[in-house]
Amino acid sequence: MGERTTPGDGAARGNGRHQRLVVTLPDSQPEVVSAFWRGIDVFRPIALAYAAYSLWDRPHDLVRPALGWGVLAVLGVWTVFLVFHRRRRLSLVVVELLLAAGAILATRLVDSADAIEAGSRTLPAIWPAAGVVSAAVLLGRKGGFVASVFIGVVDLVEVGRATSNTVNNIVLLLLIGTLIGYAVDLAREGHTKLREALALEARVRERERLARTVHDGVLQTLAFINRRGAQLGGEARQLGGMAAEQERLLRALVSAATPDDSASTVPGDVDLRQQLGRYAEGRVHLVAPADPVLVPSRVANELVAAVGAALDNVFQHAGADAQAWVLVEDEGETVALTVRDNGVGMPPGRLDEAAGAGRLGASSSICGRLADLGGEAVYSGREGSGTTVTMRAPRAGVRGGRTA
């Protein structure tokens, strides 16, 4: 098995400060292909032994028996050579097919005309099938088909006419070459997809590691600079604003997908994390999962608008120094958004008073939107301890009791 090492989660190396992720990738050849090559190496000497037995068993049909044994000796040398020479190249397959063709045609010099007319076995017998299978394993179904056609044409030339035995042998060669080649093609395609999947997994895990590192270090530092800048005022406030902007951009960068990626993953859907990223600046902090939270664009627009209304309430009523956190949760069939602040809180009955006074930010912009989607918004908190609004809606949204 080959190995690819990628920095990431894994066993600690050295003094423990550096880690790397060890991802094991399969060999360049599928195991089934290696098994075919081993099978051919076993088949070739067995086929040669059968050819030698066939030549020994019919001495009365031979005109030049010495020539026949000489041809088999050449095939034997080639067989022994391939046992020790493990590299399989196109040139070796071509040479093997040419040797097989030469041995088949040599049958006309070794056998009598009556034996050939009667449909006797060719001099190499089934040995040429090794070359056909080798071409199929090396080149796939196209190579197996071409090699079987080549040996079939040579068989016809040797016999001189299309006898039933010759036609049967040609059909068997075509089936063997094409089907084995097709099986090898499927194995290689599956092997390639497996390697791509493992490489993608390694990249995803590395990206997650980098995201954790950035979140634990750089993002927290930028958030601290932003808070201190707001507290100090003056030029420090401007510096804090720049840090907040960089924090927002960096959060979007280490997220698992861009808006274009999300759209291409599920047509018509958008990544809710990216849509909410516009609020992640200043006093607002976005906490989102590493994977895309894909929802239909209509649902995303309603949820983003509801979060915007909740944040407007934070800015207007929670106090000048209040911070807000937006938590995004993917619950499978539903999506949950939580907006929490550390402001002055909300006394009991405030929402009813606001609705009665005509201020519809909570009842209409938030609760109304969630109700239209088939979800709900729940407020909690008490005076002096901040406010939390939890919004939960079906991923697809509903309208009029029917899935959108």
Q: Does 249 fall in a domain?
A: yes
pLDDT tens for each residue of 50-83: 989 888 888 787 788 889 899 999 999 999 998 8
Token pair of 181 as six digits? 């080649």
Q: Does 93 fall in a domain?
A: yes
Q: Does 259 fall in a domain?
A: no
pTM over 0.95: no
3-state class of 382 per DSSP?
Answer: coil
- Per the CB < 8 A criterion, the answer to whether 40 and 176 are in contact is no
* Percent of the chain scoring above 70 in pLDDT: 79
Mean pLDDT, to the nearest integer, of 390-396?
88
Is the domain of 204 the same as that of 343?
Answer: no
pLDDT tens for each residue of 16-38: 333 343 344 445 677 888 888 88
Q: Does 321 fall in a domain?
A: yes
Is the domain of 286 the same as that of 207?
Answer: no
Give the containing element (helix H, strand E) for 157.
Answer: helix 141-159
Is the domain of 40 the same as that of 171?
Answer: yes
Contacts of 393 (CB under 8 A, 6+ apart): 299, 302, 303, 334, 335, 370, 373, 374, 375, 376
Is the domain of 218 the same as that of 314?
Answer: no
Is the domain of 315 the same as that of 368?
Answer: yes
Is the domain of 47 the same as that of 184?
Answer: yes
Is the domain of 274 the same as that of 209?
Answer: no
Q: Does 262 fall in a domain?
A: no
Domain hosting residue 281, numbered range: 267-403
Angle at 290 between CA 286 and CA 291, to 5 degrees: 115
- Per the CB < 8 A criterion, the answer to whether 307 and 276 are in contact is yes
Q: Does 260 fall in a domain?
A: no
Position 103 pLDDT exceeds 70:
yes
- What CATH number is given to the structural domain containing 360? 3.30.565.10
Is the domain of 271 the same as that of 203?
Answer: no
